[in-house]
Amino acid sequence: MGSSGYGAFGNYKQEGNEDLCFNEIKDVALEDVSRQEYLQNKGRLPVLMEEVCVMDSLHNKRIAVKSVHENLLIGYLPTTYSYLLSCMKKGIRYFGQVNYSTESPIPIVKVTLNAED
């Protein structure tokens, strides 16, 4: 028979999401950037290295990323990262920076985030 899992021998599903909670979230393209308050209010996208954080609560039922200094919503994390909600309920917060930003042909912002408890 054998075990089912993630394609590696002896790779059993771990209890909870604790290990995932502290993984670096690298180069994630935020969703719905063109419709959010950062671009709408400032008329531009955030600059490289701008500090960002994940909002403490859901925004329109989504996990949102905002500018730390401007306190403006930049975009949403893809639903692939929905597991972060359970991490956030444990008191873990996510901070990082913008590492890619372009307005054409469509507005794109990529961020890297790290966990802090």
The predicted pLDDT at position 16 comes to: 53
Residue at 3 is within a domain: no
Write the CB contacts of 1 (distance below 8 Å, at least 6 apart in sequence). Answer: none
Residue at 1 is within a domain: no
Residue at 11 is within a domain: no
Residue at 9 is within a domain: no
Q: pTM higher than 0.85 for the full model?
A: no
Query: What SS3 state is found at 33?
Result: helix
The predicted pLDDT at position 15 comes to: 54
Residue at 84 is within a domain: yes
Residue at 25 is within a domain: yes
Domain count, the chain: 1
d(CA 86, CA 92): 9
Residue at 12 is within a domain: no
The predicted pLDDT at position 12 comes to: 40
The predicted pLDDT at position 117 comes to: 86
Write the CB contacts of 3 (distance below 8 Å, at least 6 apart in sequence). Answer: 10, 11, 12
Neighbour-count burial of 6, counting CB atoms closer than 10 A to its CB (0-12 exposed, 13-18 middle, 19+ buried)? exposed
* Domain interval for residue 67: 18-116
Residues in the chain: 117
The predicted pLDDT at position 23 comes to: 94
Chunked into runs of 10 residues, the chain (117 residues) has average pLDDT values of 43 55 96 97 97 97 98 98 96 98 96 96
- Of the chain, the end-to-end C-alpha distance in Å amounts to 40
CA dihedral for 37, 42, 45, 49, sign (positive or negative) = negative
Residue at 13 is within a domain: no
Look up the CATH number of the domain holding residue 79. Answer: 3.30.70.2330
